[in-house]
Structure 1
Amino acid sequence: MKDIKEEKVDLRLSHDAFYKKYGRKKIVSTYTLGCKVNQYETEAMEELFEESGYAIGNFSDAADIYVVNTCTVTNIADKKSRQMLSKARKKNQEAVIVAVGCYAQVAGEKLQADHHIDLVIGSNHKNKVVELVESYLLDGHPIQVIEDIGQTTDYEDIWITKVSDKTRAYIKIQDGCNQFCSYCIIPYTRGRIRSREIGDIIKEVKTLAQNGYHEVVLTGIHIGSYGKDQDDHVTLLGLLNSLHTIEGIQRIRLGSLEPNLITADFMAGLVQLNKVCPHFHLSLQSGCDAVLKRMNRKYSTSEYAEKVGLIRKTYANPSITTDIIVGFPGETEGEFQETLDFIKHIQFSHIHVFKYSMREGTPAADRTDQIDAAVKAKRSQTIIACQDKITRSFLETLMNKDYHVLYEEKIVVDDTFYYYGFTDNYIKVKTASPTNIQNKLLSTRIIAIQENMLIGEI
């Protein structure tokens, strides 16, 4: 086969004619920036291309068509999106370049004016990516499909039947957000909350179970709002009850949650479902009430602590993880110390720490009391060092106990086979085994700790 970089091909040819002339299928390569929702949508777009006769290639190689699923959560994300689109063009000057997703939604005019971009598809209509590409190939005119996302009320119908990870599959159950946190652009790029039909979710999960997947992770922009836009009284707990009955699915994991979802009734229903993992990623962002108010978050630290207490009252040893933003505009040393003290009080099992990054178009970006980058970096390192000690203490509570681990990955070191997987409360475990235990859920004794990972024995 010729090097695609040196090969000028006629992509307008039918798939059969193209294969006959060039000895290969038309190649599509994708690149994903941003969140798990974007990753899910990219997997779904790849399936659409495959079903239509295209081959999926690696982004590191040359291709005929490049699809970049963009992110716009920060100004840095915008820059990375532009860089990856430019990189795609450099890989093959003759290729079709497609920008989709959140950055395409807010920067459509700018991208359309950029001669490197052939198609711009906003937050909706990813499910039409193949027909839009083929429409472009027919007439060669740049295409832009961007709607007023704030007025969109329908959930975009998009599916997966397989993912690159053979063990765990992310399932998108809703889109959009009504929260309007002062640092976040997402409500403007994803629109208002829109829930996926429960029957469609059940059908997709059943298909994945039949294809060998044992764990599903429910994801979306704001999954706690699932069902609130529907008239048939569907709730997240109701969805979980339905998924719990699907044969072959051994674990159901929840994505990021807002504290207001955690109520006594919700937890009482959840604990009855033994497939639901006791891992709660409960969004915090700051441990200081004054900063939370400036962020337009809808809870106080005392309310948050109450929710954590309810989780720990319900489950014996749950994993509670969170996100923290340091250096939010106006954050004083005293306010930062409040966050640090709150982290010590809550005792999270893990924290994702983010240095505040300005996003144009949000109220926080307009504030004049921005924090110096060096200060943000120092505060980030302080929290990471503090959390490392807390995480170690949490891991020590798991020692010499038995946990069910779903093994996902295999590596070979000095002729020894090691398998990596996760406990139900999402702690990574490494276990040596002479037999293949990949994609199996096995009772495992925890015998040691290696950095932030457990060593298991079966």
Structure 2
Amino acid sequence: MKQVAFYTLGCKVNQYDTEAMITLFTAAGYELVDFAEKADIYIINTCTVTHQGARKSRQMIRRAKRRNPQAIVAVVGCYPQVSPEEILEIDGVDLIVGTEGRREILDLIKQVKRADEPLNFVQDVSEVEEFEEIPIDKAEERTRASLKVQDGCDSFCAYCIIPYTRGSIRSRGIEDAVKEAKRLVSNGFKEIVLTGIHLGAYGREREEEFNLVTLLEELIKISDLKRIRLSSIEATEVTSDLIDLIAEEEKLCRHLHLPLQNGSDKILEAMNRDYNAKQYADKVAEIRNKIPQIAITTDVMVGFPGETEEDFETTYQLIKELAFSDLHVFKYSKREGTPAAKFPNQVHSKVKKKRSAKLRDLADDLASEYRKKFLGIELDVLVEEERDGRTDLLTGLTDNYLRVMIDDNDQYQEELVDVKLKELREDYLIGEIKKD
């Protein structure tokens, strides 16, 4: 039996794409092995959002070839999509595929075996109009599975390479999405996380044939599906209909990840974001008014070109005021091919590091304050299939994204249980399962 190993960098969409390719290989009789083991084929699913992602991709390519010099090394995803020549120059690369054409990868591997030189199958993603359908039936976790329903982005934020690597918006048909969701549920998954490059734009190119709300209304009907969680979505695309649906439907998780990026209107405009700070804050207020216990998390970028100390302080105060339950802090990374790479007033790395540290400290404080609100309250927890490595306790998430540890037996693994939250510890809560 031929062995294949995967290594994935980057976002949840990339993770889904890897799972889809794994499904293709295992269905064809390949054995999946860890990337650290010797394999016949190594596939690196790359990221190029930051310089670090591109550098890590190159490291993994070289590492794979050292493990087995005779192995076929395929490099797929965003990095080859924008820099195919750069990857082909790396010694040991046999095949490159961009962000389209991955469903043909088995046939491409066969072509590599007959070729005398590296093969380039990167397509012009700007010409792609249809969603690439590669269904999955398994995932790394057994309790929670991602369901990719959208690809591409037309926003062209000044700092972002993604529109150039993923192309225009393409949405998966509702029938196909529901079919895959049902298959995942039949394989034991209790929670599905809807993912996409620009999730809130789902259906936009279909001329209002369907949208995110109509998709959710269909997924809710799947009887054995316990939870549906949304991945990142723009605040401007959280409609009143979507808020009402989350407020009314128990299956929809009370958690929204709404990228802020910056709290300064000057910087938001330079970033080519389509909202200002007040519009964002008003949307958060509207959501919390209808869903009081909701977890609202966000992304924040520090050190965008031209960001002054005053701009940063404005961002800091807005984040504090909005009291996010968690935030991911990123330092601006210059990407060639994006407008911001040529902007003047690039911020020094030491300043970025200082600002990032200050926001991370704030994030810790805000997360702790959010967790404290739920002490003494009973919430449903989806218990995961493995115990927590730090504590050896059962671990799971509430629908509003609280990490909970439980001292109980393994019979509750992969089950949705009612838990009373009793104690706050570091970045999690201690809970007790309510038994009948």
Q: TM exceeds 0.5? A: yes
Q: Secondary structure at the match of 2:369?
A: helix
Q: In structure 2, how many angstroms separate the alpha carbons of the residues matched to 1:379 and 1:210?
A: 46
Deviation at 1:412, TM superposition (A): 8.2
Matched, 1:130 2:92: no
- How many angstroms does 1:231 deviate by? 4.0
Q: Is the 8 A contact 1:328 1:356 kept in 2?
A: yes
Structure 2 letter corresponding to 1:179: S
Residue 214 (structure 1) aligns with: 190
Look up the match of 2:48: 72
Distance between the aligned counterparts of 1:33 and 1:91, measured in 2?
19
Do the aligned partners of residues 110 and 386 (structure 1) sit closer, same or farther apart at CA in structure 2, a change above 3 Å counting?
closer
**Is contact 1:40-1:172 (8 Å) kept?**
yes
Aligned equivalents of 1:56, 1:140: Cα separation in 2: 26
* C-alpha distance in 1 between matches for 2:241 and 2:176: 26
Q: Deviations over 1:288-339 (max 9, x none)?
A: 1111111111100100011101110111210000000011111100000000
For 2:396, the aligned partner's letter is G
1:322 is aligned to 298
Match of 2:127 in 1: 151
Partner Cα separation in structure 2 for residue 224 and residue 380 of structure 1 = 27
Residues 316-368 of structure 1: CA deviation (Å, up to 9, x unaligned): 21000000001111110000000000011100000001111111111111123
One-letter code aligned to 1:423? T
**Is the counterpart of residue 378 in structure 1 residue 354 in structure 2?**
yes
Give, in whole Å, the separation in 1 of the partners of 2:407 and 2:71: 45
Are residues 372 and 422 of structure 1, via their aligned partners in 2, closer, same or farther at CA, if it must alter by over 3 Å? same
Letter aligned with residue 138 of structure 1: R
**1:213 touches 1:248 (CA, 8 Å); kept in 2?**
no
The structural deviation recorded for 1:434 is 3.0
Q: Deviations over 1:35-90 (max 9, x none)?
A: 01001111111111111111111101111111000111012211111111111111
Are residue 363 (structure 1) and residue 339 (structure 2) matched?
yes
Q: Is the 8 A contact 2:141 2:385 kept in 1?
A: no
8 Å contact 1:327–1:355 — kept in the other structure? Answer: yes
Name the % identity.
43
Distance 1:140 1:197 in 2: 40
TM-score by length of 1: 0.92
Deviation at 1:394, TM superposition (A): 1.0
**Which of residues 390, 410, 420 is equivalent to 1:445?**
420
Letter paired with 1:37:
V
Residue 431 of structure 2 aligns with which residue? 456
Residue by residue, what CA displacement relative to the aligned partner does 1:241-293 show, whole Å, maximum 9, x if unpaired? 00001121100000001011123233123323220001000010001111111
The 8 Å contact of residues 246 and 253 in structure 2, kept in 1 or not, is answered as no
Q: How far does the alpha carbon of each residue in 1:385-415 deviate from its partner, in whole angstroms, 9 at most, with x for none? A: 122222211111101000000000443899x
The residue that corresponds to 2:144 in the other structure is 168
Report the counterpart of residue 3 of structure 1 in structure 2. Answer: none
Residue 430 of structure 1: aligned partner: 405
Aligned counterpart in structure 2 of residue 351 of structure 1, from 302, 306, 327: 327
Q: Distance in 2 between matches of 1:387 and 1:418?
A: 25
Kept in 1, the 8 Å contact 2:394–2:410? The answer is no
**Distance in structure 1 (CA, Å) of the matches to 2:255 and 2:61:** 36
Secondary structure of the corresponding residue to residue 436 of structure 1: helix
Matches within 5 A, 1:78-93: 78-93=54-69
Give the 3-state SS of the residue equivalent to 1:345 in structure 2: helix
- Consecutive unaligned residues of structure 2, counting only runs of 5 or more, are none
Q: CA deviation at 1:425?
A: 0.2
Q: Does residue 256 of structure 1 match 2:238? A: no
**Residue of structure 2 in register with 1:61 after alignment:** 37
- The answer as to whether partners of 1:99 and 1:121 remain within 8 angstroms in 2 is yes
The answer to which of 94-103 and 403-412 deviates more is 403-412
- Per the alignment, residue 332 of structure 1 pairs with 308
In the alignment, what sits opposite 1:186? Answer: 162
- Looking at structure 1, the residues matched to 387 and 236 of structure 2 have their Cα atoms a distance apart, in angstroms, of 41
Task: Tell me if the contact between 1:214 and 1:249 (Cα under 8 Å) persists in the aligned partners.
Answer: yes
- Aligned equivalents of 1:315 and 1:50: distance in 2? 42
- Residue 299 (1) aligns with residue 280 (2): no
Q: Confirm or deny: 8 A CA contact 1:406 1:442 kept in the other structure.
A: yes
Determine the C-alpha separation between the residues in 2 that align with 1:434 and 1:36: 31
Output the CA distance in 1 between the equivalents of 2:179 and 2:71.
Answer: 36
Counterpart amino acid of residue 134 in structure 1: K
Equivalent of 1:116 in 86, 92, 106: 92
Judged with a 3 Å threshold, the aligned counterparts in structure 2 of structure 1 residues 114 and 452 are, in CA distance, closer, same or farther, namely: closer
Determine if contact 1:62/1:92 at 8 Å carries over to the other structure.
Answer: yes
**CA contact 1:237–1:270 (8 Å) conserved in 2:** no
Deviations, residues 431-458 of structure 1 (Å, cap 9, x unaligned):
0113521111011000000012011011
Compute the RMSD of aligned alpha carbons.
1.5
1:27 aligns with 2:3: yes
AA aligned opposite 2:408? S
In the TM superposition, residue 136 of structure 1 has moved relative to its aligned partner by: 1.5
Aligned partners of 1:27 and 1:56 also within 8 Å: yes
The aligned residue for residue 380 of structure 2 is 404
Instruction: Provide the rounded CA distance (Å) in 2 between the counterparts of 1:385 and 1:115.
Output: 42
In the alignment of these two chains, the number of paired residues is 433
The answer to whether the Cα contact below 8 Å between 1:75 and 1:360 also exists between their aligned partners in 2 is no
Q: Which amino acid aligns with 2:167?
A: G
Shift of 1:92: 1.1
Residue matched to 2:369: 393
Once the two structures are superposed, what CA deviation does each residue of 1:356-387 show, in whole Å capped at 9, x if it has no partner? 11111111111231111111111111111122
In structure 2, how many angstroms separate the alpha carbons of the residues matched to 1:219 and 1:132?
27
Gaps of 5+ in 1: 1-24
Task: Look up the equivalent residue of 1:252 and give its one-letter code.
Answer: I
Task: Tell me the equivalent position of 2:284.
Answer: 308
